[in-house]
Structure 1
Amino acid sequence: MSDAQLLKLENVTRSVLLPDDSELHILNGINLSVSEGDHIAIVGRSGTGKSTLLNILGLLDRPTSGSLAWRGHDASKLSARRAAHARGRDLGFVFQQFNLLPGRTALENVMAPLMYATGQDFWRRRTLAAEALEKVGLGARLDSMPQMLSGGEQQRVAIARALVRRPRVVLADEPTGALDVDTGRAVMQLLDSATVESGAALITITHDINVAALARRQFRLEDGVLKALDQEVAQ
């Protein structure tokens, strides 16, 4: 694993103002560093702040207080345009419900992020998308529509789409939640091996401790507090 740091959260909090003018504290003093090649799992029940943390890690939201550094730079100083550029270039997202474009083939779905690329990535978008699908074992399904694919195959398309721009960080939000146990395990092993091969950091948000066990660093998010699982065992 490389020592190049990609993300660093220090004392990050996130609160929202409720209609009665009281504050709802979602995240409370989160500390986390993510380096190239990391595989991190964050486990927690619904309502513990996992989605909020994912949005902050994915530069979709900003902390209420504390600091978020992206590749050594203060992310709070990124303009909306630069944050969007970083998301498109350096961050890949894999979601529980796949979020594939209906009426588009597997190839067209994987090509979609490359429509915003520049230079060779744009002009070679069909070739790059086909290569990404080949790597996830779907080289023979390029022209298949999402409804013709199994759940596991749809998630493989989603993984190929997330990796096609060679991101530095892949954020997986409950990536096995819509899959049966065996298919989910196979998908996680594929996601892990694909990110290892590309050198990307992988952050998996999950409620499933078995999925979290596949990661090399494991954390639990509870009541807005992030704690390493090995710290819990030590206690």
Structure 2
Amino acid sequence: MEDSREETREEPKQETPKETLVSLRSVTRSVTLPDDQQLHILKGIDLAVYSGDHTAIVGRSGCGKSTLLNLLGLLDVPTSGELEFLGQPADRLGNNARARLRGSTVGFVFQQFNLLPGRSALDNVITPLFYAKGKEFWRRREIAMDMLDRVGLAARATTMPNMLSGGEQQRVAIARALVRRPRLILADEPTGALDVETGQSVMALLDTVATETAAALVTITHDTNVAALARACYRLDSGVLSPLSVPAAAGVGA
């Protein structure tokens, strides 16, 4: 007897579209020099940063990396072009509105750590939570301690920065950047002051936490080995951004 049952086929799963956190279209940034000449730092930048992605931007010193990071982090606005952050035109937001959005949405990790020298590791991580509201503010110590535990430094909570190793200081800086669960993490040369092994550990930690929280991670670096850990890579050269193909990393900081 023939089997009359119809063969059922599974429909291919469609990926959920990623949310665009930051979008730059034809963005330029120029400054006026003392002799009234224009210095063109960024020239026609097109870039989209999506939720859950890890993007790397590679460039030498003086190529405009810091200027681009300032735009992505709402510290500055373009001279021309369009910059949208969570669908809002950045140039239409006042300084206070940009500061509020930046404080609740963006986390910064810097090469030099920028920890407060007279404060313990825990106090450094708590600092961003003083700008929080409601339960997040009242539970700030507990939240900060949980984040220190996430980066493996719960036992060093009361230690001052000058008693921490370089890798430990960077992990405190990462905990501070992530304590408010930012949607966008901007890491500016995060392994530049670290040895190879510690740099690998720091990048793995950043990538893991960003993936778990569905945050976008943008790494600004001169090191192609660091860039190779990202899923999308770009080169910034003389203010011009272009896609970059990077081979698998041999070792961060190598």
Normalised to the residue count of structure 2, the TM-score between the two structures is: 0.89
Structure 2 residue 113 is matched with structure 1 residue 98: yes
- The residue number in structure 1 matching 2:96 is 81
Secondary structure, counterpart of 1:88 in structure 2: helix
Aligned to 1:162: 177
Deviation, 1:20, is 1.7
Separation in structure 2 between the aligned mates of residue 230 and residue 181 of structure 1, nearest angstrom: 22
**Candidates 65, 68, 82, aligned match of 1:67:** 82
**Aligned-pair distance for 1:139?**
1.3
Deviation, structure 1 residue 2 = 5.6
- Is the 1:2–1:36 Cα contact (8 Å) retained in structure 2? no
Equivalent of 2:188, from 160, 167, 173? 173
Where do 1:1-235 residues align within 5 Å?
3-230=18-245
Deviations 1:125-174 (A, max 9, x none): 00000000100111111111101110000000000000000000000001
Query: How large is the Cα RMSD of the aligned pairs?
Result: 1.1
Q: Which whole-Å CA distance do the structure 2 matches of 1:110 and 1:101 have between them?
A: 10
| Aligned-partner residue type, residue 238 of structure 2 | D
Alpha-carbon distance between aligned partners in 1 of 2:99 and 2:142, rounded to the nearest angstrom: 25
Quote how far apart the aligned CAs of 1:103 are: 1.2
Aligned partner of 1:4: which letter?
E
* Matches of 2:172 and 2:243, distance apart in 1: 31
Bigger radius of gyration among the two: 2
State how many pairs are aligned.
231
Deviation of the 1:17 alpha carbon: 1.0
- Counterpart code for 2:172: V
> Cα distance 1:52–1:102, how it changes in 2: closer, same or farther (>3 A)?
same
Q: Is the Cα contact below 8 Å between 1:2 and 1:35 reproduced in 2?
A: no
1:164 and 1:50 mapped to 2: Cα distance?
25
Separation (CA, whole Å) in 2 of partners of 1:12 and 1:115: 33
Could you tell me how far apart the structure 2 residues matched to 1:205 and 1:105 are? 28
Counterpart CA distance in 2 for 1:113 and 1:78 is: 22
Change in Cα spacing, 1:169 to 1:225, as seen in structure 2 (3 Å) is same
| Structure 2: gaps spanning 5 or more residues | 1-15, 247-254
The structural deviation recorded for 1:22 is 1.3
Runs of 5+ consecutive residues of structure 1 not aligned to the other structure: none
1:10-53: CA deviations, max 9, x gaps? 00001111122211110000000011101000000000000000
Tell me the distance in 2 between the aligned counterparts of 1:106 and 1:210.
29
Please tell me the residue identity of whatever aligns with 2:178. Answer: L
Code of the aligned partner of 1:183 = T
Q: Is the 8 A contact 1:37 1:202 kept in 2?
A: yes
CA contact (8 A) 1:2 1:37 kept: no
Report the TM-score, using the length of structure 1 for normalisation.
0.96
SS of structure 2 residue aligned to 1:140? helix
Identity %: 65
Measured after TM superposition, the shift of residue 230 of structure 1 is 3.3
Query: For 2:229, what is the secondary structure of its paired residue?
Result: coil
